[in-house]
Structure formats: C-alpha cells, structure tokens
C-alpha cells in the first residue's frame, strides 16, 4: 500500500523528512481509519523549556482515576497527534483512562534532547495536577511505540533520577528503540523487506542525534545505562519480523534481571508499525486489549521472582531430549515463559515447564550459538 502511494512522486522535490511526514499522514486513512468514539477530545498546550507543547486529551466514557501519557512513534522525525489519533482513542477505551497524546518537537529541526524535554514537561504537568480540570490526574502510565518507546524509557529514567518526580506507575514499550549501536541479530535478519529497514533506522538516528550521530551515550541509548533498577513495572511488546525485536526483548530481560516487574509479549508474524494498523491488522486490537489489561493491574511484588527467572536466559536445557537454548525469560501471570531456540534455528515461546536440565556431558549443537553450555541449573 505504501509502495503504491499515488502521491509519492509529487513529494520527490521536497526534503526527505518532509516527504516522509506527508506519506506518514496520508497513510492514516489506509491503515488506521477514523478510530473509535470517546466521550471527549480536548486540545491544549503545556509549558515546556522550548515553548508550548501541544497535547490532545482523550477522555473515555466512565474513565477511572489515573492517566496514560502516549508518546507516538515515527523515528523522532515523522508522526504526531493526528497520525496516532485512532490508536489513542482505542487505548482510552481499553484502559478506561484519559489518554494524553504529546506532540513533541521533531528532528531534524529539533534534535536530541528537544523531544525528551517536551515529554518530561508534559509528564511533570500531569503529575503535578496541571490536568485535573480536564479529568487528568495520577497515577500515570507512560506508553509509547518505537521512538515513543525510547522517549518513554528516558522519561522513566528522568523520574527515577529526579527522586520520583514525575510520578510514574507503569511503562508500556511497544517495539521500542533501545540501542543506538543497531547491532542486534534481528537488525541484520530483517534489514530489508519488512517495512522498517535498517537504512531507515540509521537515517532516523542520524536525524535525531545530529552532530552526535556515530557516538553512543547512555543519555540517548538506554541499552548503555549502567543501572536500570528502580523503574516502574513494564510491559514490552515486540513484533517478530522487526529490526528492533531483539533489542526490545533484550531490554525486557535486563529489566527483569534488575528486579523490575516486567512482562514481555511478542506478536508472531507481525512487522514494525502494526500497532497503528488497526484497519488492516487484527493484532493491533489485540495489543490494545493487552495494554488495557496491563494498565488495570495492580503492581505486583515480584522483584525476586523476576531476578530468578532472568537467570534462566543463556542456559542450555533439554526439550524432548534435544538441547535447546533459553534465549530469554520473563514474568507473567501464568507459568514462567521462555523464548527458546532449537538446533534448526527456529524460535518458539513456551512455558519453562517441560524443559529439563541436561547431564554434564550434554552441550548444545554448534549451530546454537552465543549461549552458556556448562550445564548448570539456575539458582
């Protein structure tokens, strides 16, 4: 559908980022539609260090106490309130929370840290009661997809390092951008042919960082933070055929190891961007439902369990007598879940129950790489 865009040729005479924004906005009709009805929609502006930050508030019928701040995707270059309108309407209804969509400044005109500054300003405005006249009040859930997931992570770090201000109850990261090195296996495996390409991601990073592109700093690359403890409970959603898949799943594992209450859900068969493709993809609605359930849950005291489960990752176990690699493990309401890789290279998500500790002499086959083969059981 994108490739057949009849207006794409007319955009060829403008800067690349301008053409990309036009295509992104035109795509709303194709992939998102008009969205669901909500009780009230309010457009406002919140004071920020770089000037007023536009926001849109979606209030559902029968809203419960709390709020969800949504940070849109688009590689920090494209996207905005209008192109994520349908997704925010759906989230408001599923979560039964007012949703505050943030129209943060975009690159390359406004490189890092402009976007994060705007997002922190809106989070502080909500947390301090600035939105109470419009039915927006804590506890606050911060959510975002792709670049928005990246910004949501940085907002959470700013809150943690600022002594809990703004106050954030939970995070939702939908196929988040986490690692500026772009060095994961999925980045190579899905570099072309799956909507978001590796070259496009490099262009996004270069536009966002400007003169700092090529460097790696924990200020903008969450994967390079030395301490990830103390973050709020987190839901990480990934897509199977996405260059960002592995860095999102590695982030979930690292949060669990640090004692964060984390839940990971991979959507099989999906590509990057599916979250706003509600008109053409049923998985988008499933993701909205998943976030709605997560947002309504009470925090669980599972830090010790999260740490214990994360220690399963990197071990070799036996599945029906054959060695498999446990790549990732995470918490959840049901049995402990693991992502395993079999000898033929296929990966599958399944409960840990049924896997067995191998004898000392058993090691994984050579084509199962990057794993610990010493046969020890987890603590």
What's the burial of 377, exposed, middle or buried (CB within 10 Å: 0-12/13-18/19+)? Answer: exposed
Please give the Cα distance from 220 to 105 (Å, whole number).
Answer: 16
Q: Which of 85, 145, 179, 242 is the catalytic position?
A: 242
Q: Which of 32, 101, 127, 146 is the catalytic position?
A: 146
Q: Which of 150, 241, 265, 272 is the catalytic position?
A: 272
Q: At what angle do helices 147-161 and 114-127 cross, to 10 degrees?
A: 60
Which tokens go with 238? 């990934």
What is the 8-class DSSP label of residue 150?
H
Q: What are phi and psi of 234, to 5 degrees?
A: -135, 135
- How many angstroms separate the Cα of 272 from the Cα of each of 44, 95, 185, 220, 268? 30, 23, 16, 21, 11
Peptide bond between residue 59 and the one before it cis (omega within 30 degrees of 0): no
- What are the beta bridge partners of residue 241? 271
CA angle 371, 377, 379 (to 5 degrees): 110
- How many angstroms separate the Cα of 354 from the Cα of each of 317, 335, 338? 10, 11, 11
Which tokens go with 281? 């993809």
Strands across the sheet with 140-145, in order? Answer: 40-46, 53-59, 99-102, 67-71, 140-145, 170-174, 233-241, 262-271
219 noted as active-site residue: no
Please give the Cα distance from 57 to 312 (Å, whole number).
Answer: 42
Please give the Cα distance from 91 to 97 (Å, whole number).
Answer: 8
272 noted as active-site residue: yes
Q: What is the DSSP annotation of 262-280?
A: EEEEEEEEEETTGGG-TTT
Which tokens go with 20? 């990309």
* DSSP H or E segment with residue 118: helix 114-127
Contact present, 234 and 261 (Cβ < 8 Å):
yes
Question: Catalytic site residues?
Answer: 146, 242, 272
């Amino acid at each position: 559908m994108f490739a057949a865009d009849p207006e794409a040729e007319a955009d060829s005479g403008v800067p690349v980022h301008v053409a990309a924004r036009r295509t992104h906005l035109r795509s709303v009709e194709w992939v998102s539609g008009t969205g669901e009805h909500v009780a009230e929609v309010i457009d406002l502006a919140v004071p920020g260090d770089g000037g007023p930050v536009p926001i849109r508030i979606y209030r559902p019928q029968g809203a419960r106490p709390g709020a969800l701040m949504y940070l849109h995707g688009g590689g920090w270059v494209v996207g905005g309130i209008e192109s994520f309108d349908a997704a925010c309407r759906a989230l408001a209804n599923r979560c039964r929370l007012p949703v505050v969509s943030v129209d943060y400044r975009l690159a390359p005109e406004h490189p890092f840290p402009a976007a994060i500054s705007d997002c922190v300003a809106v989070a502080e405005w909500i947390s301090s009661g600035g939105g109470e006249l419009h039915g927006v009040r804590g506890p606050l859930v911060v959510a975002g997809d792709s670049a928005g997931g990246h910004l949501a992570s940085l907002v959470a770090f700013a809150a943690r390092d600022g002594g809990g201000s703004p106050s954030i109850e939970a995070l939702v990261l939908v196929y988040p951008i986490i690692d500026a090195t772009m060095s994961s296996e999925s980045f190579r495996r899905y570099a072309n042919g799956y909507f978001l390409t590796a070259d496009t991601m490099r262009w996004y990073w270069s536009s966002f960082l400007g003169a700092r592109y090529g460097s790696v700093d924990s200020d903008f690359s969450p994967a390079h933070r030395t301490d990830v403890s103390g973050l709020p409970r987190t839901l990480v959603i990934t897509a199977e055929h996405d260059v960002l898949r592995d860095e999102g799943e590695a982030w979930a594992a690292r949060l669990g190891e640090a004692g964060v209450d984390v839940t990971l859900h991979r959507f099989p068969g999906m590509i990057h961007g599916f979250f706003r493709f509600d008109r053409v993809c049923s998985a988008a609605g499933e993701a909205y439902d998943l976030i709605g359930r997560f947002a309504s849950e009470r925090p669980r005291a599972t830090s010790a369990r999260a740490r214990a489960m994360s220690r399963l990752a990197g071990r070799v176990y036996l599945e029906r007598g054959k060695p498999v690699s446990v790549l990732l493990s995470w918490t959840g309401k049901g049995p402990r879940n693991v992502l395993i890789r079999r000898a033929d290279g296929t990966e599958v998500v399944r409960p840990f129950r049924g896997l067995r500790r191998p004898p000392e002499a058993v090691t994984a086959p050579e084509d199962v790489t990057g794993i610990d083969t010493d046969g020890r059981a987890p603590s």
